[in-house]
């Protein structure tokens, strides 16, 4: 999709990716390259296939068609647990905490299973909670958390695996302006550490504070990809959002 | 700089309260209450071990039943409550445990070691079986296990040694004087129950246990953060098969005669499910508590025949409707009661802020 003008080869790459759920084509003919350390925003109307795209990238299910490469190696059909250990992890749009465990135990579990081979799981979990400003909740059982804290936990848990690519699915929905500012700060810190980010969010102005590249999806396809301002002015994008209103 | 090193660094260098090299946090794995519980447990076990000195054969006989129930409840809870694999076919391993004991003893192995070896053999059989069974999902798995148990039953009936439903006795036991026999079986059952409880405790505190709790809470999420769900379930499947087989072997030792129908009966499953649901499925303490509750009901009401069954059924319904988390689940969620700590408590200056809200809106 993007022209491979930049020097670094893509860390994660897909071509011709498709996924059908019965008669629903949630994803069709998606091709995409992600370079190490890059930050990409994804927008698109409801049901566009954004979450399905992230899920397919992490191996949550095998795609119906297409190929996924990680570091140039074909990883199509590799299960999520192995993709995670290789450094690709996502958050869930509807948070899926381990409700019977505390916030710290959630993060630690992710660090010890999805993190580096001989990593210090306690240190990784502590670092992820600190980065996500969740230390005050460290010993709270996860099923006692409200929705916003559950979303933060999704992010902290994914970060605890020390990923090279983190895929964020609407972690910022429902935040106040002040909270959104903190989120942007956190995501900048993640970026500064060299981790590549793909971030789905409906609040475009927040998204644009961290991503230099924007993708718009509609009906299972990528309809625009590139400079955020250009993407937002793209007629196809305006068409897709007709009646939806872009913030 | 990788995220891994920067996260680790966050926990040491860049933290304002870090004192040079020491980490600014500590992870606690024990509470005073948990230590006391373990101590009391050890005292209770010691008392039970010495009990034969002051009690008679009747006590030991009943106690063996309790220990067998504990084996069934704890291991089925691991499988259904934690690994999410609701088997209704553990009676297959229970019966197999008894059958293999008969076979080993018949082949000349001393009778008491046969009991344990039989359980190990069944555990070994369960490993290849797990590859097939764990491919099945939810309802399919439950039914598949029931079919498997029926299959084991039919296969055992083909063995001429068993004489069909007439059955056989563990005759080697008759060579042992009654008093020694009772004592050895009692002690073996006690040690087995304690071993399985301890194994479960250690398992839950281990890496596998953390994975198991994650699978219990959300299997898909466990997958997405790197947990090998299938292998974790396999470990538990084999553990549960071993526990059921050990229970079957000990039941045989206590009752001497082996009639396939009685051992491969689905009634064992009904009892086990009752114990775990009533005690609190998916909780460590609940399964043990449920076994004790069932044992007490049986001991004091078992003589009333139909009435006993009515009480069992009624209490199952009341629990299912009123306390779906079971007795222990209710107590622990209502009163934050937890006797044994299997988790990890983070101690750090920032965690002391009373747990009200995260640091999102306040500082940055
Ligand atoms: N597991 C599933 N089974 C059946 N259909 C599904 C499944 N997951 C997604 N879909 C369908 O695929 C399409 C794309 O869904 P997806 O969740 O990827 O959209 P999205 O862009 O993330 O939308 P939103 O902005 O609402 O989160 C939708 O039509 C949805 O109903
Ligand atoms: Mg979505």
* Cβ contact, residue pair A160, B12, below 8 Å: no
Which residues of chain A from 164 to 203 reach within 8 Å of chain B, CB to CB?
Answer: 164, 176, 178-179, 181-183, 185, 190, 193-195
Measure B358 CA to nearest chain A CA, in Å. 5
- Residue A92, domain member (yes or no): no
* pLDDT score for B318: 86
Inform me whether the C-beta atom of residue B20 falls under 8 Å from chain A C-beta atoms. no
Chain A contact for B218 (CB, 8 A cutoff): yes
pLDDT of residue A203: 85
Q: Nearest-CA residue of chain B relative to A54?
A: B224
Same domain? For A77 and A198 the reply is yes
For A198, phi and psi rounded to 5 degrees?
A: -120, 125
> Across residues B312-341, what is the average pLDDT?
80
Q: What are the distances in angstroms from CA A112 to CA A19, A106, A162, B211?
A: 31, 10, 10, 10
Here the CATH number for the domain that contains residue A42 is 3.40.50.300
Which of A52, A199, A215, A222 gets mutated to test ligand 1 (max ligand atoms within 8 A of its CB)? Answer: A52
Which residue range forms the structural domain that includes residue B162? Answer: 30-342
Is A25 domain-assigned?
Answer: yes
Which of A96, A128, A162 is nearest residue B218 as measured by Cβ atoms? Answer: A96
CB atoms B359 and A109 under 8 Å: no
* Three-class secondary structure of residue B161 per DSSP: helix
Ligand 1 atom nearest residue A170's Cα: 27
Give the tokens for residue B61: 């006989």
Q: Residues A156-186: pLDDT tens digits? A: 999 999 999 999 999 988 888 888 899 999 9
With respect to residue B229, please indicate whether it lies within any of the assigned structural domains.
yes
Whether the CB of B350 is below 8 Å from some CB of chain A: the reply is: yes
pLDDT band, residue B362 (cuts 50/70/90):
very low
**Residue whose C-alpha is closest to residue A161's, from A91, A105, A111:** A111
Same domain, A117 and A22: no
Beta strand ranges found along B132-220 (DSSP E): 168-169
- Residue A65, strand partner residues: A18
B212–chain A nearest CA distance, Å: 10
Task: Give how many domains chain A has, as a whole number.
Answer: 2
**Chain B partners of A110 at a C-beta cutoff of 8 Å?**
225-226
Domain co-membership, A77 together with A16: yes
Q: For residue B5, what pLDDT is reported?
A: 58
Residues A9 and A83 in one domain: yes
Whether A96 contacts chain B with CB within 8 A: yes
Each residue of B304-324: pLDDT tens digit? 878 888 888 888 888 888 888
Kindly state whether residue B21 falls inside one of the protein's structural domains: no
Residue A7 lies in a domain: yes
- Is B53 among the domain residues? yes
* Dist CA B358 CA A138 (whole Å): 9
Q: How far apart are CA A88 and CA A120, in angstroms?
A: 19
Whether pLDDT at B359 is above 60: no
- Spell out, as residue ranges, where chain A has pLDDT lower than 50: 1-5, 245-247
Nearest CA in chain B to A116: B4
Q: How many domains does chain B have?
A: 1
Å between A138 CA and nearest CA of chain B: 6
Residues A118 and A6 in one domain: no
Nearest CA in chain A to B336: A141
Q: Is A106 in the pocket of ligand 1 (CB under 6 A)?
A: no
A138 and A210 fall within a common domain: no
pLDDT at B40: 93
Interface ipTM: 0.88
| DSSP letter string, A199-211 | EE-S-HHHHTTT-
B266 Cβ neighbours under 8 A, 6+ residues apart:
B88, B91, B146, B149
Task: Check: CB of residue B33 under 8 Å from CB of residue B285.
Answer: no
If we measure between CA atoms, which residue out of B151, B243, B164 comes closest to residue B197?
A: B243
pLDDT of residue B2: 54
Cross-chain CB nearest to A84 (options B4, B207, B225): B225
Does residue B1 have a pLDDT over 50?
Answer: no
What confidence tier does B14 reach under pLDDT thresholds 50, 70, 90? very low
Residue A102 structural domain: 97-162
A157 & A172 share domain? no
Report which protein residue has its CA nearest ligand 1's atom 3: A21
Structure pTM?
Answer: 0.85
Which of the two residues, B280 and B23, has the higher pLDDT score?
B280
Q: Which ligand is nearest to the CA of A50?
A: 1
Does residue A44 have its Cβ closer than 6 Å to ligand 1?
yes
Instruction: Note whether A72 and A173 are same-domain residues.
Output: yes
Choose one of A137, A162, A187: the last residue of a domain.
Answer: A162
| Of B99 and B216, the one with more pLDDT | B99
| Contact by Cβ (8 Å): A140, B355 | yes
pLDDT, tens only, B41-95: 999 999 999 999 898 888 999 999 999 999 999 999 999 999 999 999 999 999 9
| Residues A5, A71 within the same domain | yes
The answer to whether position A138 is within a domain reads yes
What's B177's domain CATH number? 1.10.3470
pLDDT at B18: 38
Do A171 and A79 belong together in one domain? yes
- Kindly report, residue by residue over B185-224, the tens digit of the pLDDT: 999 999 999 999 999 999 998 888 889 989 989 999 999 9
Interval B213-242 mean pLDDT: 94
């Amino acid at each position: 999709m993007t022209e491979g003008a930049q020097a670094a080869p893509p860390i994660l790459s897909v071509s011709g990716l498709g996924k059908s759920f019965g008669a629903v084509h949630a994803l069709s003919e998606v091709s995409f390259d992600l370079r190490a350390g890059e930050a990409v925003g994804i927008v698109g109307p409801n049901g566009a296939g954004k979450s399905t795209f992230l899920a397919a990238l992490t191996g949550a299910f095998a795609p119906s068609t297409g190929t996924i490469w990680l570091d140039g190696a074909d990883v199509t059909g590799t299960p999520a647990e192995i993709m995670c250990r290789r450094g690709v992890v996502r958050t869930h749009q509807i948070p899926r905490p381990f409700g019977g465990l505390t916030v710290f135990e959630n993060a630690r579990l992710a660090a010890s299973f999805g993190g580096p081979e001989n990593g210090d799981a306690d240190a990784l979990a502590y670092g992820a909670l600190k980065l996500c400003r969740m230390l005050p909740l460290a010993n709270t059982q996860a099923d006692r958390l409200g929705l916003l804290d559950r979303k933060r936990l999704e992010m902290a848990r994914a970060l605890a695996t020390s990923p090279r690519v983190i895929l964020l699915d609407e972690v910022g929905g429902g935040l106040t302006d002040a909270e959104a500012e903190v989120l942007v700060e956190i995501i900048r810190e993640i970026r500064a550490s060299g981790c590549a980010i793909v971030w789905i969010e409906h609040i475009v102005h927040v998204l644009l504070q961290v991503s230099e590249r924007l993708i718009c999806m509609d009906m299972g396809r990528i309809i625009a990809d590139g400079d955020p301002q250009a993407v937002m002015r793209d007629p196809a994008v305006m068409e897709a959002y007709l009646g939806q209103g872009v913030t | 700089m990788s995220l891994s090193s920067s996260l680790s660094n966050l926990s040491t260098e860049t933290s304002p309260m870090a004192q040079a090299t020491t980490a600014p946090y500590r992870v606690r794995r024990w509470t005073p209450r948990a230590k006391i519980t373990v101590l009391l447990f050890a005292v209770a076990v010691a008392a039970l071990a010495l009990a034969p000195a002051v009690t008679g054969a009747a006590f030991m006989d009943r106690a063996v039943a309790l220990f067998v129930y504990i084996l069934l409840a704890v291991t089925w809870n691991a499988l259904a409550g934690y690994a999410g694999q609701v088997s209704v076919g553990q009676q297959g391993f229970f019966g197999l445990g008894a059958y293999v004991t008969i076979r080993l003893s018949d082949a000349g192995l001393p009778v008491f070691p046969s009991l344990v070896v039989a359980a190990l053999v069944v555990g070994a059989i369960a490993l290849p079986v797990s590859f097939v069974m764990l491919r099945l999902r939810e309802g399919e798995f439950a039914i598949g296990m029931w079919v498997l148990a029926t299959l084991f039953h039919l296969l055992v009936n083909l063995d001429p040694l068993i004489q069909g439903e007439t059955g056989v006795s563990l005759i080697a036991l008759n060579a042992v004087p009654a008093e020694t026999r009772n004592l050895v079986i009692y002690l073996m059952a006690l040690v087995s129950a304690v071993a399985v409880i301890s194994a479960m405790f250690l398992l839950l505190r281990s890496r596998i246990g953390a994975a198991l709790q994650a699978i219990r809470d959300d299997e898909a999420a466990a997958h997405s953060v790197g947990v090998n769900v299938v292998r974790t379930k396999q470990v538990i499947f084999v553990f549960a098969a071993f526990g059921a087989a050990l229970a079957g072997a000990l039941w045989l030792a206590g009752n001497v005669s082996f009639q396939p129908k009685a051992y491969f009966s689905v009634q064992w499953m009904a009892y086990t499910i009752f114990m775990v649901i009533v005690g609190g499925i998916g909780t460590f303490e609940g399964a043990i508590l449920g076994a004790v509750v069932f044992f007490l009901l049986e001991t004091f009401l078992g003589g009333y025949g139909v009435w006993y069954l009515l009480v069992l059924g009624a209490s199952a319904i009341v629990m299912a409707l009123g306390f779906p988390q079971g007795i222990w689940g209710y107590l622990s969620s209502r009163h934050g009661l937890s006797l044994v700590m299997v988790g990890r408590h983070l101690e750090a200056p920032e965690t002391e802020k009373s747990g009200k809200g995260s640091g999102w809106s306040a500082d940055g």
